[in-house]
Amino acid sequence: MSGGTAAAGGESPGEVAARLTGRAVRGEPRLSGALAEVTLDDGRVVVVKRGDSDGAVAAEAAGLRWLARADTVRVPAVHGRDGRWLVIDRVASGRPSVTAADRFGRELAALHAAGAPAFGAPPPDGPRDAAIGLAPMRNVPGTDWPEWYAEHRLLPYLRRAVDEGTVRPAEAAVVEEVAARLPELAGPAEPPARLHGDLWNGNVLWGADDRVWLIDPAAHGGHRETDLAMLHLFGCPHLDRILDAYQEAAPLADGWGDRIGLHQLFPLLVHAVLFGRGYAEQALAAARSALAG
């Protein structure tokens, strides 16, 4: 068995794949940053991914399994994990197509409809202290979405952004006003949806099988408009077709388009903490837009 380049802790990605899958490895792993593609002895190609922490790896694995159990949108199968490593299927890449977009819209609606026990509920066997990208994200269950979104999503990241100087103290008031007015801004009450939770374009893979696959979830129970707002945030191929198909399968409440900025406020605050002032300005603009809408 060829192991490839040794990773931290002395194991190579090939050795990690063999240990966690119980299969021999053939050939040299293809390395790309923190990821490696490894071919197993039965011909399957898996991705070996090093996580930032045990909690992040556990959350991603639990999230993938929870999304898979809905039997809707495709997600990579989990073949094994430990405290730092995750081994999942590799998705063969294709090109965005109208057919895949239409199907994705319907499947995303079905995924959301699969539901969750509560807003903020982590996947079964998933940790409460999870992650969204490189940032910590705490999953604390709640029964009222406006109260939960304010307390466990908006205000913790606003406080961190202020403490780190990314948002000026005088600017924080506009986000605090959004948090206070969420009951009137949030639209009609919705049941907890099963969310991917970090549904930006980079986590939407257009597969060679002419279907969409989702990777890198920050899965939890939430408001379904949150996933759709994330698709808008950085753009997505054939987004209009995705949304049309979603609406046909599960119509959204009136005025949902006016609430996109409200749902984007959390990921923008996360980006402000991670990447600086430019995203803070976008978050403040989204907050003002939510109040004006």
* pLDDT tens figures, 140-189: 999 999 999 999 999 999 999 999 999 999 999 999 999 999 999 999 99
Q: Residue 8: inside a domain, yes or no? A: no
Provide the number of structural domains found in the chain: 2
Q: Residue 263: inside a domain, yes or no? A: yes
pTM to 2 decimal places: 0.93
| Region for 22 from its dihedrals, namely left if φ exceeds 0, alpha if ψ lies in -120 to 50, beta otherwise | left
Q: Residue 125: inside a domain, yes or no? A: yes
How many Cβ atoms from other residues are within 10 Å of residue 159's Cβ?
13
**CATH no. for residue 68?**
3.30.200.20
Verify that 74 and 142 share a domain, yes or no.
Answer: no
Report whether 239 contacts 224 (CB < 8 A).
no
Verify that 74 and 111 share a domain, yes or no.
Answer: no
Verify that 68 and 146 share a domain, yes or no.
Answer: no
Q: Which of 65, 133, 78, 74 is nearest to 107 (CA)?
A: 74
Q: Model confidence at 9, in pLDDT bands (50, 70, 90)?
A: low
Q: Residue 194: inside a domain, yes or no? A: yes
- pLDDT at position 2 is 33
Verify that 71 and 161 share a domain, yes or no.
Answer: no
**Structural domain boundaries enclosing 177:** 98-292
Domain ends where: 43, 60, 89? 89
**Separation of alpha carbons 200 and 208, rounded Å:** 20
